[in-house]
Structure 1
Amino acid sequence: MPPERRRIPIASESAGCNATLTGEWAHYLARVLRARTGEQVWAFCGDGHDYLYEVSSVLPSQVHLRFVERRQVRTDPTRELVLVVALPKAGKLEAMIEAATALGATCIFPFVSARSEGKPSAHQRARWNKAALEAARQCGRTTTPELAEPARSLAEAVAELHAALPAVRGAVGDPNAGQSLRAWSEAQPPGVALAWLVGPEGHLSPGELETAVAAGFEAVSLGPRILRAELAATAGLALLSRP
C-alpha cells in the first residue's frame, strides 16, 4: 500500500490517463509535500484500483501528472456493511463517517430520529463526503461508502435500506437485549450484507426500536456499559467487519 501522504483522490475521468490537478490537491502536492518533477504519487477514484502517476511539472496553481500504471488493490470490504445512524449533535457524524470508512462500511444511511437535534445543511453534507474521502485516502481504501440523503425518520431509512439491499440482515443496539452483537455476527452466513443501527445520544425512542425490530433488525447488546453514539457506531462496525 502506498504511504497515505503520497496518495490523493482523483476524478474518475482522469484516472488512467495524464491529468492536471488544480485547487486543494494541487496545493497539497506543491506546497505541503513540495513534490518535484519526476517524483511519483498514487491516486484513487473509487473504482477499486490505485493509479501511479509521475509529476511532470509543478506550477503555482497546477500540478501536471503523467500516468504510469494501474494496480488492483484488495483493501476494500468483502461484504456489504451498512451503518444506519441517527443524526447526532453537530460535527459528530463526520467522526462516525471517518471511522465507518476505515472499518469497511459500504453504505451509510443517516436519519432524523425523534431525539435528533436539528437537520443537516448542504454545507454539512459536503463535509461528510469530504470526511469519507479523506478517511479512504488515509486507510488505503479505493472506494468510499455511499452516503444516502438523510431520511426524515427511521422508518424511511429502513425502507431505503431494504430497497437497496433486500437480503440485508440488521442488528440494533439495545442494552436490555440478551444476545450480544458478537454472538449475532458469528451466526450470520459468510458474505451476507449486514447493517448496524445506532440511535442518537438519548437512544432510540421505544417506538423507533419497535420499528427496527418489525423491519427485521435483531436487538443485541454491546455489553453492560453505556456507550456514546459515536463509540457505539465504531465498536459495532469493528465487530461486524471481522473476517
Structure 2
Amino acid sequence: MRKLFLDKIDGDTITLSGDDHKHIAYSLRMRKGDEITVCADGVDYTAIIREMTKTSTIAEITGKARSVSEPSIELTLFFGALKGDKNDYVVQKCTELGVKEFVPFISDFCAVTSESVKIERLSRIALEAAKQSGRGFVPTVSSPVKFNDLSDLLRGYDTVVFPYEQENELPIDDYLKKSARGKTAVVIGSEGGFSRKEADVLRKIAGGSVTLGERILRADTACVAVVSVVMYAFGEWRRNK
C-alpha cells in the first residue's frame, strides 16, 4: 500500500485522522488487524491497526527501519516558474524521481508572476506523489525567489547542473562523471529560457553549462529528463540490497 506520512511519531501507537483515516477506512477498506506503513522523518514504521472509530485509526507500532527509498544525494530542483498546470507536473514527477526540495524562481523571461505559483497546491501534490512512490520524505516546495537570489542559494551545493541550449561542447553525462556526489542542484529555466546575462551568472556558479543534445526540450520535460539523468549517473536507479 501507499505510505502515510506524519511529522513526528512518539510512543508505541499511531493515531491517524482526517484524510489519512478516510483513506485507510474507506478507500482501502482496512480493518482491525491489518498492517500499515507510516513514515516520519525518513523512518518507516510498520504498525497493526488495533482500533477504528468513525474519525480515527489507532495502530500499534511493531517495527521501524530507515527508509531505503531515499536517494543518497540531496537533490534540489530550481526551476523557472511555468504557465498553467506545468508546475504541477514538474513537482509530481520529480518527487517520484527523488527530488528533496523545489525552488521556483522568477527570471527575466518568465511568463508568470510569483503570485501565480500556488505553493499550497504544489505541496499537496508533492505529498500525494511521495505517498504513491514510497518516498521516505515529503519534498518541500519553497516560495518563489527572484533570479538575483539564486547566486547565494546555489553556493551551498557540491554540484550545480545547468543545462543550456546554447552550450555545444560539454555533454551532461561527461560533466556528471567529474562531479561530486552530495548536495546537488539542478537549474532549469522557464519556457522563455534565460537571458544572456542570467546564463553567464549561472555558468560562473556551476563552473560551466551542459548540453542535452540536438533537441530542444520543453521546460517541464527538461526538469524530468535532467533529474532522471542525474539520478542515473549517481547510481540511484539501482535497487538497495
Whether these two folds match at TM > 0.5 is: yes
**Structure 2 partner of 1:174:** 164
1:70: how far off? 1.0
**Structure 2 partner of 1:90:** 84
Q: Contact between 2:164 and 2:211, CA under 8 Å: does it hold in 1?
A: yes
CA separation of 1:122 and 1:89: change in aligned 2, threshold 3 A = closer
Which residue identity is paired with 2:227? Answer: L
1:209: how far off? 1.0
Distance 1:15 1:76 in 2: 22
Q: Contact between 1:180 and 1:220, CA under 8 Å: does it hold in 2?
A: yes
Aligned counterpart for 2:152 among listed residues 159, 166, 173: 159
Q: Contact between 1:85 and 1:110, CA under 8 Å: does it hold in 2?
A: yes
CA separation of 1:74 and 1:220: change in aligned 2, threshold 3 A = same
TM-score normalized by structure 2? Answer: 0.88
CA separation of 1:18 and 1:119: change in aligned 2, threshold 3 A = farther
Q: Contact between 1:194 and 1:240, CA under 8 Å: does it hold in 2?
A: no
Alignment of 1:53-202 (within 5 A): 53-121=47-115, 124-152=118-146, 154-162=147-155, 165=156, 167-177=157-167, 178-189=169-180, 191-202=181-192
Q: Contact between 1:109 and 1:161, CA under 8 Å: does it hold in 2?
A: no
Distance 1:53 1:219 in 2: 47
Q: Contact between 1:49 and 1:73, CA under 8 Å: does it hold in 2?
A: yes
RMSD: 2.0
Which residue identity is paired with 1:116? Answer: C
Q: Contact between 2:123 and 2:140, CA under 8 Å: does it hold in 1?
A: no
- Provide structure 2 residue ranges, at least 5 long, that are not aligned to the other structure: 236-241
**Structure 1 partner of 2:5:** 9
Query: Match of 1:27, SS?
Result: helix
Tell me whether 83-92 or 168-177 shows the greater mean CA deviation: 168-177
1:23-60 deviation digits (Å, cap 9, x = unpaired) = 11111111101111111110112x22101111122222
Distance 2:17 2:37 in 1: 16
**Structure 1 partner of 2:29:** 34
1:217: how far off? 4.8
Which residue identity is paired with 2:57? Answer: V
Q: Contact between 1:181 and 1:222, CA under 8 Å: does it hold in 2?
A: yes
Distance 2:202 2:117 in 1: 29
1:120: how far off? 4.5
**Structure 1 partner of 2:239:** none
Query: Match of 1:118, SS?
Result: coil
Q: Deviating runs (4+, > 4 A) in structure 1?
A: 120-123
Query: Match of 1:220, SS?
Result: coil
Tell me whether 112-121 or 207-216 shows the greater mean CA deviation: 112-121
Which residue identity is paired with 2:194? Answer: L
Which residue identity is paired with 2:12? Answer: C
Q: Contact between 1:171 and 1:217, CA under 8 Å: does it hold in 2?
A: no
Q: Contact between 1:81 and 1:106, CA under 8 Å: does it hold in 2?
A: yes
Distance 1:8 1:39 in 2: 14
Distance 2:145 2:201 in 1: 14
Which residue identity is paired with 1:206? Answer: R
Aligned counterpart for 2:194 among listed residues 180, 197, 204: 204
- Provide structure 1 residue ranges, at least 5 long, that are not aligned to the other structure: none
Which residue identity is paired with 2:178? Answer: A
1:200-233 deviation digits (Å, cap 9, x = unpaired) = 1111122221221232352111111111111101
CA separation of 1:227 and 1:157: change in aligned 2, threshold 3 A = same
**Structure 2 partner of 1:229:** 219
Distance 1:170 1:63 in 2: 44
The share of aligned pairs that are identical, in percent, is: 23
TM-score normalized by structure 1? Answer: 0.87
